[in-house]
Structures are given as structure tokens and as C-alpha cells.
């Protein structure tokens, strides 16, 4: 089948040529912030992770779609990424779990994609220049260039309001009761919580008084997309609940908790996106291989009553904080790991221990 010619144009003028696959928008142009993901598998979980809202994902693994898709691997009710970039799209998936090809999934959910791209060259460029806004599609090169000039990144963007649940819902039937604030929560994250707790998942705009009215034993802060600096109301809510409830935060939840405790966040050059990032637990000396997906990170400057508990061994980025006196802790990476290794799932048990005893203890 002849595919339409397509191209990527970044807002620094760089051009990458390929062909269009997936959903073909009538205007032939899709814009967003280009990032790369280094996971070797799990493309469906990556694509449906709400934390990718506003972004275009370039997969570094050369073959995507090999094992098809299955509803069992969805991390949200729909994909939130703006589009995907591949070296090669598999037309013939082979796996006993497959319910269909990846391209059919992209068309169903109206997700544009581009293949035939030299993703190694694109990755090297993004590593040097940082995550960049841009455009891609089967529109004319002039049209793509004009769209790339005005494409937006994620700075000061609130995508949480887009991806958060509109209605509260309950999961789990046993254990302590917790409230999980949905900033873009993943399905695997909800499952890990529901295995241990009675969980009420609430929208991101839920007030502190509304949370306390549910009489929870603890508070969970989920992952999510966009710039944490754009979420001042959410930080205020967390700050008013510190000391009132034990708190566990992941990814964006980690960034918001750190901000509520006096820290601040900054944008990484190209972020951490993949399932092979080494992290050291400073309290135990244990090394974990972790799944990560974030463009922003926490600076420890100004943190009150909290200390750095985990660091990234690749670049020294803060990967976790602990505030024992406040009964609060958080990590930047994804212990639920969908996709990725399960080294860090013990952190959900650490939260359970905190709720039962009121103390934070290393594994």
C-alpha cells in the first residue's frame, strides 16, 4: 500500500522525512512537543499514559506494533499523546493476546503517526537541543514550517484539567481508605492501590474540605501531564492537607508535594522517558531500575521538613523525597511500572505501612 509522504519540522527548522500512518487529519498537520521514549516494549501503555498529553512520542526502538494491541494494556480510556513517531510500523502483529493491529487502534482514536523516520538521528537531535515543539504530517512542507513556528511546548500548560476524571469513583474492597487525586492517573496505578486499599479516585480540582469529608486514612497524589508550575490551586490544596493526612506522591504528584513543602521545579532538557533508568535509594543503598515519564524535575532548594531520599544515577536528578515528621513521601519515577520493571512496587507497601503505623521506614 502506498503511504502518503510526510515530514517532521521542528521549530528550530530541522526537517525529517517519512510517510504518514495511523489517522490522517484533513489538514495534514499535527503539532506538539517532541520527546523520545527508550522503552523496548509497552508502546500501547506508553501511548495511553495521560502524562503524554500535549506531546508527540518518538520511539527509539526501531519496530513498533509487532505484538498488536489489547484492551488489557490500556492505561487510560483513550490515548492522550498528540501523535507518535516510528522507524517502522509492523503491519502483521503476532501475539496470542493481540486484539488487532496498532494502526487500527491509532485510526480508531484519531491519533496521527509518522513512520520511516530516522529515529536515531531525531533522538540525537533532541538530546542536544532538548525537547522541541514542532509539527508533522502529510501537509505541504511550507504548511508544516508555518505550523512549527507557532507550535507550543508544555511550559506553563495545564493539561491536568484535560485528562483528569470528571466524576469520583471507587476501587478496592479491603484495607485502609485512601483518596487518590487524579492528575492523570494510570490504570496500573489504580490497580496497585486497589490491591491494598479502599480507594476513592477524585478529580484534580477537588478541594481539601471535600477530601477531608470523605474521612480518608491517607492521600495519594498521582502522575499527570504538563508543567507543575501551572498548577498553583493543586499545590495549595496539598499544602493545606500536609500534617492532616499521610501522603504518597508519584511523578507529577511528587513535584506538587515538593512544591507544597517549599521546593520548586524546573524543566529538564529532554526529560526522562523510558523503562530503564537506574535510581538509588539513599536510605538503603538499594539500586532500582525504574520506569519514568517526566519533563520536569524537583530542586531540593527550599524544601522544608523533607530530605532527598532517591537520586537518578544517570544525571543526579532528585527522584524522591521523604518527610517523616509530616508522614509524607514521594518519588519521581513510576513504581507501578506499566510498562517497565517492578523493582519499586514495594513503595505501595511502604505507604500501607505508613497508614498502619504512622511511621516511614525504609524497606
Spatial CA neighbour of 177 closest among 220, 217, 214: 217
- Catalytic residue (one of 33, 251, 272, 288): 251
Confirm whether 334 is a catalytic residue: yes
3-state SS record for the chain: CCCCEEEEEECCCCEEEEEEEECCCCCCCEEEEEEEECCCCCHHHHHCCHHHCCEEEEECCCEECCCCECHHHCCCCCCCCCEEECCEECCCCCCCCCCECHHHHHHHCCCEEEECCCHHHHHHHHHHHCCEEEEEECCCHHHHHHHHHHCCCCCCCCCHHHHCCCCCEEECCCCCEEEEEECCCCHHHHHHHHCCCEEEEEECCCCHHHHHHCCCCEEEECCCCCCHHHCHHHHHHHHHHECCECEEEECHHHHHHHHHCCCEEEEEEEEEEEEEEEEEECCCCCEEEEEEEEEEEEECCCCCCCEEEEEECCCCCEEEEEEHHHCEEEECCECCCCCCCCCCCHHHHHHHHHHHHCCCCCC
C-alpha cell of 218?
Answer: 491517607
- Catalytic residue (one of 33, 45, 288, 336): 336
Confirm whether 251 is a catalytic residue: yes
Produce one character per residue of 6-40: b if its CB has 16 or more CB atoms within 10 Å, e if not.
bbbbbbeebebebbbbbbbbeebbbbbbbbbbebe
Spatial separation of the C-alpha atoms in residues 36 and 292, rounded to whole Å: 12
Confirm whether 342 is a catalytic residue: no
User: For residue 213, how many other CB atoms are within 10 A of its CB?
Assistant: 9
CB–CB of 16/116 below 8 Å? no
Active centre residues (catalytic)? 251, 334, 336
Amino acid at each position: 500500500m502506498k503511504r502518503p509522504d510526510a515530514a517532521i519540522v521542528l521549530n528550530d527548522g530541522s526537517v525529517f522525512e517519512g510517510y504518514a500512518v495511523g489517522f490522517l487529519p484533513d489538514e495534514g498537520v499535527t503539532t506538539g512537543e517532541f520527546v523520545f521514549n527508550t522503552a523496548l516494549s509497552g508502546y500501547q501503555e506508553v501511548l495511553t499514559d495521560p502524562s503524554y498529553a500535549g506531546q508527540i512520542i518518538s520511539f527509539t526502538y526501531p519496530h513498533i506494533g509487532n505484538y498488536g494491541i489489547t484492551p488489557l494494556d490500556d492505561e487510560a480510556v483513550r490515548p492522550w499523546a498528540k501523535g507518535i513517531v516510528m522507524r517502522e510500523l509492523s503491519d502483521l502483529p503476532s501475539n496470542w493476546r493481540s486484539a488487532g493491529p496498532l494502526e487500527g487502534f491509532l485510526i480508531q482514536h484519531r491519533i496521527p503517526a509518522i513512520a520511516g523516520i530516522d529515529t536515531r538521528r531525531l533522538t540525537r537531535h533532541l538530546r542536544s537541543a532538548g525537547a522541541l515543539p514542532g509539527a508533522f504530517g502529510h501537509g505541504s512542507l511550507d504548511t508544516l514550517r508555518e505550523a512549527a513556528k507557532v507550535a507550543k511546548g508544555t511550559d506553563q500548560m495545564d493539561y491536568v484539567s484535560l485528562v483528569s476524571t470528571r466524576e469520583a469513583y471507587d476501587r478496592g474492597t479491603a484495607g485502609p481508605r485512601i483518596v487518590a487525586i487524579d492528575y492523570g492517573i494510570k490504570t496500573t496505578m489504580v490497580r496497585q492501590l486497589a490491591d491494598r486499599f479502599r480507594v476513592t479516585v477524585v478529580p484534580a480540582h477537588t478541594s481539601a474540605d471535600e477530601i477531608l469529608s470523605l474521612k480518608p486514612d491517607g492521600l495519594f497524589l498521582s502522575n499527570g501531564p504538563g508543567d507543575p508550575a501551572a498548577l498553583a490551586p493543586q499545590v495549595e490544596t496539598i499544602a493545606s492537607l500536609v500534617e492532616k493526612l499521610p501522603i504518597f506522591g508519584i511523578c507529577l504528584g511528587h513535584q506538587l508535594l515538593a512544591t507544597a513543602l517549599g521546593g520548586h521545579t524546573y524543566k529538564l532538557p529532554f526529560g526522562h522517558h523510558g523503562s530503564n533508568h537506574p535510581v538509588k535509594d539513599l536510605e538503603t543503598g538499594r539500586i532500582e531500575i525504574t520506569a519514568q515519564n517526566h519533563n520536569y524535575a524537583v530542586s531540593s532548594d527550599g524544601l522544608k521538613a523533607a530530605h532527598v531520599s532517591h537520586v537518578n544515577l544517570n544525571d543526579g536528578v532528585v527522584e524522591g523525597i521523604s518527610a517523616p515528621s509530616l508522614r509524607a513521601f514521594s518519588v519521581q519515577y513510576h513504581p507501578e511500572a506499566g510498562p517497565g520493571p517492578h523493582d519499586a512496587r514495594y513503595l505501595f507497601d511502604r505507604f500501607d505501612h505508613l497508614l498502619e503505623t504512622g511511621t516511614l521506614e525504609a524497606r
